[in-house]
Structure 1
Amino acid sequence: MEGDLNEEPERTRQLAASPVDTGQAVESETSDSSVLEALSVSSEQEFFSEEELVLQTATAAQVTPTITFDTSQAAAHTYLGDREDLSGTSEPFGDGETVGLPLYPISDLVLFPGGTLPLRLDRRQRELVDRALAAAPPLQRLIAVICFTRPFDGMPHFSQVGCTAEVRQVREDDDGSLNCIAIGQQRIRVSDKALRESIQRSSWLAVPVKVMADAPVPPVPREARRDMMWWGRLIFEAFDPHALAATAKGLAAAMSPQARLFEGSPLQLSYWLGSNMPFDADVKQEMLEVGNEVERLRCAIRVMEPMDPRCRFCGVKISSGRNVFSMSESGPGGAFVNPQGYIHDLMTVSKVSRNVALHGRPETEYSWFPGYAWTICCCSTCSSHLGWRFTATKEGLLPRSFWGLRVSQLMPRVKVRGSDGDSPSHEPLWPLSSRG
């Protein structure tokens, strides 16, 4: 595709939590003005002061609200409408193999093998997927996805390590736009030269990418474990993939019941955590770039233990890690796309602090969670757009309200002890030493 693939939508477009309009009429009970008027009144129980959130984080157990919502609807991205399933799956490429694929840079989103990527592409953008759909095997239906971020200096930074994605479902709308679901396949690296040439020419249709396989990490033999002294067992628990997987499952299960039921290998679990836990793009990029599941699981554990969402721009506390829960059967984090094609990486929480302010009236159109109306919410200190409050519009739907926070607007950091040994400070993650 020629031109700037990732021309960021206008701010007003980014604010719209708006899945694709399926053309279906909104049910009368959700469009009734009296219902929406009632939803615009905030419940005081949804807001906490920073002091209350700190106390909650220190003393309370994980807060998991009762859920009657069908969480499979969010995971299936039903807001994109009925889609055609494409038959067959692609064969994996060998480690180190170089192939030419359409390259799709996406703002603040990191795709992992096995992860779900919802796409809505207009007539100009869909050329990428059209090229992939028309390609001959083994390249058919494959694109390469990399993340780019915009630091405070405003200059975009493109990551060289990304993931291939196979288009599994498509739907063409009357306006010529294309709704797709793609699934992550294999890690890839784009050379600095190829990336620079694509950026300079604004051409992304056929970019050479190199496939990267993870280096397998064998578990510690059982007989060796029996002979370990206590310090040896500590080392074993810190580096054995199965021991790390058990620890990561326990931490993730507090936010997502699906984690405890996960039956894949430690490698597959490391990818699942990267896809479905609410980590920010920098952390996810670190996890994608490391070359084995041990480092990836260790990184996930470091972030999950002290999760403490704060506004990325002014640092005020937004919620507590105790309030993170799953409104999707995939997990508490996930990507959702609006009608303009902008993809938001979302974290769902049950409560927020009083540093969050609502803007505008509740809207039922384009809701990512069927049966819920959305209202824009911003940081009351710096006015940055944090996400949306979702409020139930149907009787019996639980929870009655929850919050979807944009992970790109948050500052998840590792909580460490302050220099005085008592007060906590917040330091960013150190880069991991092992890269794939």
Structure 2
Amino acid sequence: MEENDRRILEREMYQIEQIRQLDLEELQVEEVDDFQNSSDDDDNNNHRDPTHGYDSTGILGEFTYNICVASLHSYLGDVEDTHHRTAFLDGGAVLNLPLFCLQGVVLFPGATLPLRVIESNFVAAVERSLSRVDVPYTIGVIRVYSDTANHSMKSASIGTTAEIRVYSDTANHSMKSASIGTTAEEPSLYK
């Protein structure tokens, strides 16, 4: 039994080291041009209500949030676009998908889920979903939580299918990806 405990401890230490290495990676900052001076602006269109906020000096001023920056997923570093968009799945279709049980995470249709996958079985699941023909680039995501009354883990009754839009393999055999929630589903879990 001691040998098994030692292996588990070594595996956990290896995973902790991988997480620390991922945390030390620098995020790439991408500068975006100011779009306020575009030719589409109409000088007579001053009736618009601007979004107000505080600048770096703490003075109330105007700012524009560029929603295009988040869709670039530059926080993931160098990634490959999957160039694939899944059409809506047929109602009542039964699919066999890799299932990600994430504690404290609820993915809604249309929301983005950035993932850093470090465990080999989850990396293999993502790689399998990238090469599937029937439902490519698709994974299932479900929330799990701790049931304090029974001292056990429970899963939510509804999950979301997620389409992997961008991904990258890293040098330490982990994977980064950004997925978009597509549909809410009631999963059937087979043991």
Same fold (TM over 0.5): yes
**Aligned partners of 1:149, 1:76: CA distance in 2, in Å?**
31
1:102 aligns with 2:98: yes
Question: Residue in 2 aligned with 1:113?
Answer: 109
The alignment-based identity, stated in percent, is 27
Deviation at 1:76, TM superposition (A): 4.8
Question: Residue in 1 aligned with 2:54?
Answer: 66
Paired residue secondary structure (1:88)? coil
Question: Residue in 1 aligned with 2:143?
Answer: 147
1:157 aligns with 2:154: yes
Alignment of 1:54-203 (within 5 A): 65-66=53-54, 76-124=72-120, 125-137=122-134, 139-153=135-149, 154-191=151-188, 194=189, 197=191
**Aligned partners of 2:81, 2:64: CA distance in 1, in Å?**
25
Question: Residue in 2 aligned with 1:21?
Answer: 25
Alignment of 1:287-436 (within 5 A): none
Structure 1 pair 117–19 and aligned structure 2 pair: CA distance change class (3 A)? farther
Structure 1 pair 148–141 and aligned structure 2 pair: CA distance change class (3 A)? same
**Aligned partners of 1:85, 1:78: CA distance in 2, in Å?**
12
Regions of 4+ moved over 2 Å: 67-79, 151-154
Higher helix share: 1
Cα RMSD after superposing both structures: 3.2
Deviation at 1:78, TM superposition (A): 2.9
- 8 A Cα contact 1:113 1:187, kept in partner: yes
Structure 1 pair 174–70 and aligned structure 2 pair: CA distance change class (3 A)? farther
**Aligned partners of 2:73, 2:27: CA distance in 1, in Å?**
16
| One-letter amino acid matched to 2:106 | V
* Pairs aligned (count): 142
Query: Which TM-score applies when normalising by structure 1?
Result: 0.29
Deviation at 1:77, TM superposition (A): 4.5
**Aligned partners of 2:101, 2:147: CA distance in 1, in Å?**
16
**Aligned partners of 1:169, 1:23: CA distance in 2, in Å?**
16
Paired residue secondary structure (1:150)? strand
Deviation at 1:161, TM superposition (A): 0.8
Structure 1 pair 70–174 and aligned structure 2 pair: CA distance change class (3 A)? farther
Structure 1 pair 23–77 and aligned structure 2 pair: CA distance change class (3 A)? closer
Paired residue secondary structure (1:136)? coil
**Aligned partners of 2:154, 2:81: CA distance in 1, in Å?**
34
Q: Any idea what the Cα deviations from partners look like across 1:319-366, whole Å, max 9, x if unmatched?
A: xxxxxxxxxxxxxxxxxxxxxxxxxxxxxxxxxxxxxxxxxxxxxxxx
- 8 A Cα contact 2:27 2:76, kept in partner: no
Q: For structure 1, which runs of at least 5 residues remain unmatched after alignment?
A: 1-7, 25-63, 198-436
- 8 A Cα contact 1:103 1:146, kept in partner: yes
Structure 1 pair 21–175 and aligned structure 2 pair: CA distance change class (3 A)? same
Alignment of 1:12-51 (within 5 A): 21-22=25-26
Q: Any idea what the Cα deviations from partners look like across 1:14-38, whole Å, max 9, x if unmatched?
A: xx9x7571487xxxxxxxxxxxxxx
Deviation at 1:152, TM superposition (A): 3.0
**Aligned partners of 1:20, 1:117: CA distance in 2, in Å?**
21
**Aligned partners of 1:152, 1:71: CA distance in 2, in Å?**
42
**Aligned partners of 1:101, 1:20: CA distance in 2, in Å?**
32
- 8 A Cα contact 2:27 2:75, kept in partner: no
